[in-house]
Structure 1
Amino acid sequence: MIDSIKSINGLLSGSALTGVETGSANSVSAAAAQGTGSQVSFAQIMGDMASDMANTVKLGEAKSFEAIQGKASTREVVDAVMNAEQTLQTAIAIRDKVVTAYLEIARMQI
């Protein structure tokens, strides 16, 4: 499941987004840390969000496996899983908003 989420980054570099700038991961964080006010593309933001979401869910899974092996405390597992759940709910909400916006645009008269 996580690998299919990671494949979103592959879509960003495809020809479907011709004319849209794409960049490396953490470029949004780097631009924010510099405070230069440089332009960041929408594709970069969405790509970084997808990468961060996948990493958060992977961390939750890893903590769960560590708990099964007896290497992680219950609190660490609960924190990681709840963080992953919150991230997934945010991603679902963003997806729903994007679909709603697309449907509204599709209904517009030309």
Structure 2
Amino acid sequence: MIQSLAALTSVTDTNAVFGAADLGLTTPGIRQAAPAGPASNFGDLLTQIAGQMRDTVKTGEAAAISGIQGKTSTQAVVEAVMSAEQTLQTAVAIRDKVVAAYLEIVRMAI
């Protein structure tokens, strides 16, 4: 789980977890690339984040397969798998928050 913005600096690809530039966040010491285009609404933002998460997990899977075949170094495999694991944990945390918010809304008196 990401405790602070400083935790993003330990990730090799800062856009792999959240797309920090898309959220308007800056990380100290890391040069941000220009965003492809701002999200016009919250749904678009979530779609972009989900796509980035999917790509990170696919990269981790591909690195693991490549490592099994002996084409990739162990360090590269571990980095890709750890990034994919962190992305998956972030996705689960976001899902849990969305479900909790929905349940709270459902319980509200009208």
TM over 0.5: yes
Higher relative CO (CA 8 A, sep ≥ 6), structure 1 or 2?
2
- Superposed CA RMSD in Å reads 1.3
Would you say 1:84 and 2:84 are equivalent positions? yes
Larger helix fraction of residues: 1
Instruction: Give the whole-Å Cα distance in 2 for the aligned partners of 1:31 and 1:55.
Output: 18
Structure 2 residue 52 is the aligned partner of structure 1 residue 56: no
Identity %: 57
Q: Separation in 2 of the partners of 1:48 and 1:89?
A: 17
CA offset at residue 30 of structure 1? Answer: 1.8
Cα distance in 2, alignment partners of residues 30 and 48 from structure 1? 11
Paired AA for residue 45 in structure 2: I
Q: Which 4+ residue blocks in structure 1 deviate beyond 6 angstroms?
A: none
Look up the match of 1:46.
46
Structure 2, unmatched stretches of 5+, are: 1-21, 23-34
Structure 1 residues 6-17: aligned runs within 5 Å: none
Using the size of structure 2 for normalisation, the TM-score is 0.66
Larger Rg: 1
Report the equivalent of 2:37.
31
Write the deviation string for residues 75-101 of structure 1: whole angstroms up to 9, x where unpaired.
Answer: 000000000000000000000000000
**CA distances 1:6-51 after superposition (whole Å, capped 9, x unpaired):** xxxxxxxxxxxxxxxxxxxxxx43235xxxxxx6200111001111
Code of the aligned partner of 2:36: A
- What TM-score do you get using the length of structure 1 for normalisation? 0.66
**Unaligned stretches of 5+ in structure 1?**
1-27, 33-38
Question: Could you tell me how far apart the structure 1 residues matched to 2:60 and 2:66 are?
Answer: 10
Q: Find the counterpart in structure 1 of residue 101 from structure 2.
A: 101
